[in-house]
Structure 1
Amino acid sequence: MKKVWLVSIVSLIGLTVFLGPGVYNKISGEVNNTERIVDVRTEGGKKVTYSQAELKEMLTPLQYKVTQNNGTEKAFENKYWDNKQPGIYVDVISGEPLFSSTDKFYSGTGWPSFTKPLVEENIVTKKDRGIFGTSTEVRSKEADSHIGHIFNDGPEPTGLRYCMNSAAMNFIPKEKLKEKGYEEFIHLFQ
């Protein structure tokens, strides 16, 4: 039994050394970002800056883990996986418009899934190298929040599945779009 544990520990250390220090962070869900500052542009072009300490106060522990430490919430146990209300989804930190319910579909995965972004310019994609291969990560442009990943198994017309974390987004129902400053998207629901 001791031999099995020793081999497992040595293998994990070897894998970490071989693939780089980021692997441990991927496995544990921890990222050393104590010095990282998040800049957010608001209406009128004004920039707001949040330190990691301020974000920890502002966000729930799950929101912080997902957006700042590239975490993933549990399938079927998140706020918007089964939300059928009409409206838009915005970044939890910056309020950037990200997705619309008009592009949301039931994927059976337990996370909110969309065929395309609402505002393409608010989405940044990058290669995410993990233990099980490479995927495409989705981040918000202004807040640099980790939101989720893109997969090529979605429905037409795009064939894409933007698989997002509810914890990275806030939902604005269509009735509150004007009140919350998103009146430019009202036409989607008329």
Structure 2
Amino acid sequence: MNIVIIDYGAGNIKSLQFAIERLGFTAVLSNNEEEIKNADKVIFPGVGHADSAMKMLKETGLDKLIPTLKQPVFGICLGMQLLCTSSEEGNTKGLGVFNVDVKRFSNTLKVPQMGWNTISNLESDLFKNISEHEFMYLVHSYYVPPCNETIATTDYGGDYSSALQKNNFYGVQFHPEKSSTAGEIILKNFLTI
């Protein structure tokens, strides 16, 4: 299977590559349009600032390519947020795959939310063999409100979308590659969709 991790300079992807290898697969890192278009599965990771990440995507033309992909695409953390319409982080226009705007957590909460929290209301094959209220590892200051495309929620000062799905696009706010066995099951579920 041909797995491509989109390389646009946003975040540490080594732990993601290692997690995929532990599952018996190999993923290449690429920003090449043809390689990404011809992949069986595409992973769109991201750690960092939404505005600078979008600038990097625009410089390579990946902002135009990603929304047109037909194979399963998996946005992780900032990758999921960039698939949304916009983000309050840097007043950034997103890729518009998910029809929802990313918001900043209230100042009454400790920000970023960093550490383990549970996922609930699981509604997708992405969560096959995952229990309700399973713990996942999160690090983020911005969140996606619940919407039509929500397939899992997390409570942090109220419920937000910890996972989204629309057609062939999936997104998770948590880091499956840092979420122990349960995270690896979710990664494997995506790779076998």
Tell me the TM-score normalized by structure 1.
Answer: 0.27
Rg bigger for which structure? 1
Q: Which has the higher strand share?
A: 2
TM-score when scaled to structure 2?
Answer: 0.26
